[in-house]
Structure 1
């Protein structure tokens, strides 16, 4: 430990060493002069919403407390989160008021997703629940249905989800509200998204990075986010980091992020304090936007952020069983858990609910009073729960004809370079409804053709500032995913290209999104959405130069685990099939599309027309590489994935010369879901189709890009699976050569040949006669190649040459005139 610390018994606290001038960076304003009517409306809205929220957690009857509570009025299971609700109702009331006063287009994104009681209560008050769910009408019966049905099998769940009007974010997994909000405002110049971030959520890594999202918002073309950091001090059972930060620390943090902040914390006059803060934030936003839209953009504008401090569980029970509840972690979920069996807690619950004076908040029929509705926007389409952007704003893309970008059959092309040209034109044709979000890997992934007509959108860089780029690169997969979700859920389309090994970072985010989308599809009033589209490249097969850490195809399995109605996984074998696939995915709706392909030059096996037919079928026989076009095979060799299919094709070529009596059928699968047992997935092959493609009874060897259990799971339920063997990624790798990666994972042409010989020997006696000798020669060749790689540090010359298949029409790369590659000559001789 440094001596100066040892010698200082009471080191000066960090906060006191921060200059007082830092606090001058926080905004202090004279409070707005709310009229008595507006103030009353805000206060009564909050009281009514808090009453309903609390009642939803506890009551199975007696919703308006028209008699004393009994144990029979209490739900058998008390579910819900009270602690965050008072802060959420406070913000909701003021967003209504701000929207009505300024004629805004406003969405509310709620990070604390378990605060559903507060949001549902507010939605009931503004009439949005009734619009989408008539049984929640604004009367006694509707309120009874809402309160008694909450967190029961027939009511709303305990957290915000796609069934909640106005929601575009579930919040079940903390950390993503802020990035989703920024994605939502992109290309929506008049949209304001108010995003409340809980101080627990603020501790998450995705939220920490998402504060930089404002640096990717061009105010000339996009709307704005008003972030509200809700500091109530506690998580489930621990203090929060933000709750322990003083003003100087908070101002320093957000000034460093690039914001100007204002504290909202005057509990004695909270409504004037928050109304003043919201109006200030809106005025700052309009000033930034006006400058940008008049051609004089502000370089590095400081966007507003509100730091709102209120007690956790504010207005709830102060103490229970001698322990503080309000202002402590005890308020986080259900403060009076024994209300259904303990007379004292039942009495405390009644006292708590009556403290809101419900008889003054609802009319005789059970509707909210005029004072409450006076602060709500008058037009339905302007109410927070009914903004069209949140549920019916799908904008179909104008997708270019992919065939004009097709590559010549027999040439060598990078899938990524070819599709980059199509994406570039799609960005031109859809200037306000298509964006590309990438973790700083576009050039590495050879997708740089997307920059032919656009640039990067990064507003804190003098070279891209105010240029309107359609590409966002930020080295945070979480933020890219959040942007993608917000952009998609408000009607547009996004593409997320990434290194294969790092897509797993957003695995749970993708799953959360899929769950939201599943519920949205089951909610009658939500319309279709564009699919979210992942391009997975820089795959393990060509990440040998980066090493073992960059070799991981596990995201495929993550998508396969989704509901069949959502999951789509494509592994196009060449450039033309990838073009067809991405064009299809950009037109598709409601799916999670995963496209896996190589960025390195690969042979183009299929013409444009052949690729079109192949992709429509999902799989087909590569007749050029098969014996007699695939008739009467002894064994079926299946390639899934570009490099894996290449190895299958080379193995088939070698077998022609090495083992001419062995009859091979080569199949490529581009749509992984066709393998799933019939009726499980919409793309599944029928049993007759499966048998036609793979034969009813011949041995099958799958050479698969991902993990073995993925193929096993897909094939489960198909007949005669004992004939199936699988080569796949087996977690072997290093900084080595491309072909050594094939050898280490036992998916090389030689391992395929070995599998083919063993399988064919079961049905072809001529192959069986020579099997031992042939297998010995193949294994010897593996040893020779491995020794060569270890000695020379490179693959043998000709390893990736592709032979012609004479008489089939496939000429090989650049129209090779010779019938055999260098490697084949070496092997056969």
Structure 2
């Protein structure tokens, strides 16, 4: 018998599902036992310290129940993103009701004992989180740090044409910069090849202790705002009139929401049908829902002093004072729970009644087990990578060929996109051309659904493998996270200094990975690849504001080298070799710091592969120690530190041909950590072989000193001289950027001889010559506006 999903009888099941979810949500806040209130509530059955939030819960449970209805009615492939902060009970409660929670956690069954366990474990030591954390079925967005819900939802539906992301957005979250920027996401959703996002803005009026801005805007203002942003907004209200004029009957709101949900789903389907049947990629006006509803809806109405709780900021967290050692007002809790009529919702054994389960979705159509939210499920495809070696640069002598690493890398990226036409994307904040990924832009195009004006515009197309036309690092990182968390692959390339704009997002992603790995039922995820270029040591047009390599330090401080890798290749071949590793990595963040400037090319593809695979390597052609104990060890990472180290070695060899010099190139700095902190680091034995204890090390490092000092401290080594970015900069010449930070060849060479007593005593003339060249440089750039020929015309001529 066909089900009439529009009937009042079915809406009673939707209402029962909502009430059951609310009951479970309140129980998770307060109770440890007696989940069905079969006897008088005892102190031992209440949590010692209830932890969690209530304000957003009931409205979200309402939304979830209605999404279930349209999934059933229209056969949708839909998942849910919970944008409001602190709504952990929502997805737990609803997944428990549809049975998926018990499938993933078989110790928690749909009965009285299981319900008691469910209640106790919420926000409890050894239990579940107060957010939609990785242990929450159906979640791919925790929502602890607000602002990324719509970006994550959009990233997940790219190249998933049959999927709808129902993204609940809190009105507090809507005030954040990233969320405000993400309303532009519709401009990048192709109605033929991508799925759809349904934003549902929950306006419950209050944040922690303040009103929300959008709640004090009129319906007319909200409509004009979102229409101006390109959306088709629909407003539904649970209030009789204004937000302080009382509430509608719940069944009336159910009827209105059911009709509205049907309208927006049919509108999405109509947009996609027209686009796909008529090959019409015109930017549509996607629908969205604005839901005006009281904060703390269906909860306690007033506190002990008569102040409003429901429809007030006071509903935000734990709204009533009930705890194990504070049972005076337990009747408030009991009355609250019994207001949901639990006898209609659960039988005497705690099993949800048929009235409730009629609104349940089944199988993988349940939002709690939608494969999209679990790394794409079994349909997720591994990346098909070309042979990176065919893009290698060839040369007879190290340093004899110059090239732009990013320009060459773009050719490799282009073939990856060709081999993975629906599984690989690049993202950037209008910097991709500046970052010189020319081949990738020219061939793969920028996805852009707005109008195009040629020749004023360039490389814009309705469908493309690059999205870089919005100047928002938050959007790029959010889209990439959504894309990766749903099982696909990609990269985000940006100016190194402005990677700091999203470093907290990277931290949140790392936290997600860490917790997800602990869940047996979670699939693994592709790596998230963050490319930091336009680096600190050459900012021709930009200057001091664009000079900050601190993202390396920020992520290193997490002390999770299993989840965070930092790669600093010195040239094109090194970048190609380490890219193969980065793109095949799983469940980690890879930071690739690479130059876009024309630079000497040092390592053959075989050498580069060896360095990339091991993380670092002895370079014989740049060493004079002949595998004996050296007088000094030079080590470097990335482009400019490597070039200056090799130039310093060249200077030293010409002045002190008997000096035994060893050179080590480092791509993976984490390999230098001690093996306690990083089990994948090189062994103590190998470390001692490369860097003998009593031999000074001149380390030319791309980032800040404190990070590298920490690494060497972990090896119990103090005779390392770190040359790095010292927060000195300006608009100046490329070489001067190195000089002001003492990362240039003259400072390196001078420091090397002064670090060796046997040379320091006889090197006064050499030190004076280095100082003379530095003084000459200082004057030369002020007279000529460019670097002196001694620097620009230097070539590596070999040591043997």
Name the TM tier (shorter chain): over 0.9
Quote the offset at 1:365 in angstroms.
Answer: 2.0
SS at match of 1:54: helix
Q: For 1:404-419, what aligned pairs fall within 5 Å after superposition?
A: 404-409=390-395, 410-419=400-409
From 390, 397, 404, the equivalent of 2:383 is: 397
1:550-580 deviation per Cα after TM superposition (whole angstroms, max 9, x unaligned): 0010111122123121010000011101001
- Residue 200 of structure 1 corresponds to 172
Does residue 101 (structure 1) correspond to residue 73 (structure 2)? The answer is: yes
**What does 1:580-595 align with in structure 2 at a 5 Å threshold?**
580-595=577-592
CA distance in 1, matches of 2:583, 2:798: 37
Give secondary structure in 2 for the equivalent of 1:595: strand
Distance 1:690 1:295 in 2: 64
Residue number in structure 2 paired with 1:736: 732
> CA-to-partner distance for each residue in 1:410-461, whole Å, 9 max, x for gaps?
3111110111000001011000010101111111111111024221101013
CA 1:626/1:545 → structure 2, altered by over 3 Å: closer, same or farther?
farther
2:131 equivalent among 159, 178, 183: 159
- RMSD (Å) for aligned C-alpha atoms: 1.6
CA distance in 2: counterparts of 1:606 and 1:641, whole angstroms: 12
Structure 1 residue 148 displacement after superposition: 1.7
Deviations 1:162-195 (A, max 9, x none): 0001101000001000110000000000001100
2:622–2:798 contact (8 Å) kept in structure 1: no
SS of 2:383's equivalent in the other structure is coil
Residues 339 and 349, structure 1, Cα contact 8 Å, conserved in 2: no
Identify the residue that residue 451 of structure 2 maps to in structure 1: 461
Residue 73 (structure 1) shift:
2.3
Change (3 A) 1:447 1:145: same
Q: Which residue of 2 aligns with 1:292?
A: 275
1:558 corresponds, among 554, 561, 566, to 554
Deviation readout 1:477-497 (Å, 9 max, x if unpaired): 000011001101101012000
CA displacement 1:254-307 (0-9 Å, x = unmatched): 001101111111432111111111111111111111121123426231100100
Once residues 514 and 406 of structure 2 are traced to their aligned partners in structure 1, the CA distance between those partners, rounded to angstroms, is 31
Q: Contact between 2:91 and 2:368, CA under 8 Å: does it hold in 1?
A: no
1:345 maps onto 2:307 in alignment? no
> 2:766 pairs with 763, 771, 774, which one?
774
- Could you tell me how far apart the structure 2 residues matched to 1:799 and 1:205 are? 44
The answer for the alignment partner of 2:752 in structure 1 is 756
User: What does 1:245-324 correspond to in 2, within 5 Å?
Assistant: 245-266=217-238, 267-268=248-249, 269-297=252-280, 299-321=282-304, 322-324=306-308
Give 1:186's match in structure 2, choosing from 153, 158, 168. Answer: 158
Could you say if the C-alpha distance between residues 606 and 339 of structure 1 is closer, same or farther in structure 2, counting changes exceeding 3 Å?
closer
Partner of 2:244: none
* Conservation of the 8 A alpha-carbon contact between 2:91 and 2:137: no
CA-CA distance at 1:669 after TM superposition: 0.6
CA contact (8 A) 1:559 1:594 kept: no
Corresponding residue number in structure 2 for 1:381:
364
Deviation (angstroms), 1:465 = 7.4
Alpha-carbon distance in structure 2 between the residues aligned to 1:276 and 1:263: 12
Q: Does 1:598 align with 2:595?
A: yes
Instruction: State the number of aligned residues.
Output: 771
The yes-or-no answer on 1:470 pairing with 2:465 is yes
Q: Distance in 1 between matches of 2:320 and 2:267?
A: 43
Cα distance between partner residues in 2 of 1:93 and 1:33: 12
5+ residue gaps, structure 2, are 239-247, 454-458
Residue 33 of structure 1: how far off its partner (Å): 8.1
Distance apart, 1:392 and its partner CA: 4.5
Matches of 1:697 and 1:69 in 2, distance apart? 71
CA contact (8 A) 2:52 2:317 kept: yes
Q: CA deviation at 1:47?
A: 0.7
SS of 1:701's equivalent in the other structure is: strand
Where does the alignment leave 5 or more consecutive residues of structure 1 unmatched?
A: 1-31, 809-829
Give, in angstroms, the shift of residue 803 of structure 1: 2.7
Matches within 5 A, 1:125-136: 125-136=97-108
CA shift for structure 1 position 705: 0.4
Greater CA drift, 460-469 or 659-668? 460-469
Does 1:623 find its partner at 2:620? yes
Map Cα deviations across residues 515-558 of structure 1 (whole Å, 9 max, x no partner). 01111111100111100001111001111431100001011112
The reply to whether residue 576 of structure 1 matches residue 573 of structure 2 is: yes
CA shift, 1:622, in A, is: 2.1
Among candidates 777, 780, 786, match of residue 778 of structure 2: 786
Residue aligned with 2:718, SS: helix
Q: Secondary structure at the match of 2:256?
A: helix
Larger mean CA deviation between 46-55 and 710-719 belongs to 710-719
What residue in structure 1 maps to residue 742 of structure 2?
Answer: 746
Do the aligned residues in 2 keep the contact of 1:548 with 1:735 (CA within 8 Å)?
yes
Q: Which moved more, 1:461-470 or 1:118-127?
A: 461-470
Aligned match of 1:816: none
CA contact (8 A) 1:299 1:465 kept: no
- The residue that corresponds to 1:372 in the other structure is 356
Contact 2:672 2:681 in 1 (8 A): yes
**Contact map agreement 2:77 2:164 (CA 8 A) in 1:** yes
The aligned residue for residue 241 of structure 2 is none
Matches of 2:309 and 2:760 in 1, distance apart?
A: 79
Query: 2:578, 2:613 within 8 Å by CA — same for their partners in 1?
Result: no
CA distance in 2, matches of 1:114, 1:346: 24
Change (3 A) 1:544 1:298: closer
Distance 1:717 1:466, change over 3 A: closer
Look up the match of 2:635: 638
Matched, 1:660 2:650: no
User: Residue 313 of structure 1 contacts residue 331 of structure 1 at CA under 8 Å; is this kept in 2?
Assistant: yes
Selected match of 2:438 from 444, 448, 458: 448
8 Å Cα contact 1:630-1:666 kept in structure 2: no
Match of residue 339, structure 2, among 355, 373, 384: 355
Tell me if the contact between 1:566 and 1:592 (Cα under 8 Å) persists in the aligned partners. yes
**TM-superposed deviation, 1:61:** 1.7
Q: CA deviation at 1:696?
A: 3.3
SS at match of 1:134: coil
Structure 2 residue aligned with 1:547:
543
Checking the alignment, whether the CA contact within 8 Å between 1:638 and 1:668 is kept in structure 2 is: yes
What residue in structure 1 maps to residue 411 of structure 2?
Answer: 421
Instruction: After superposition, give the CA deviation of every residue in 1:334-378 in whole Å (9 maximum; x if it has no partner).
Output: 011245455552111111111111111101221111111111123
Secondary structure at the aligned position of 2:714 is classed as coil
Which residue of structure 2 lines up, in the alignment, with residue 703 of structure 1?
700
- Quick check: 2:484–2:525 contact (8 Å CA) kept in 1? yes
**Which residue of 2 is the match for residue 57 of structure 1?**
29
Do the aligned residues in 1 keep the contact of 2:635 with 2:664 (CA within 8 Å)?
yes
Distance in 2, matches of 1:465 and 1:639, equals 40
- The whole-number CA distance in structure 1 between the counterparts of 2:504 and 2:679 is 24
447-456 or 505-514: bigger deviation: 447-456
Three-state SS of the structure 1 residue aligned to 2:755 is: helix
How far off its partner does 1:736 sit? 0.6
Give the Cα separation in 1 of the matches to 2:417 and 2:5.
47
> 2:243 matched to which residue of 1?
none
- C-alpha displacement of 1:214: 0.9
Provide the rounded CA distance (Å) in 2 between the counterparts of 1:642 and 1:465: 32
- CA–CA distance in 1 between the matches of 2:727 and 2:375? 44
More divergent stretch after superposition (191-200 vs 257-266): 257-266
| Farther off after superposition, 541-550 or 490-499 | 541-550
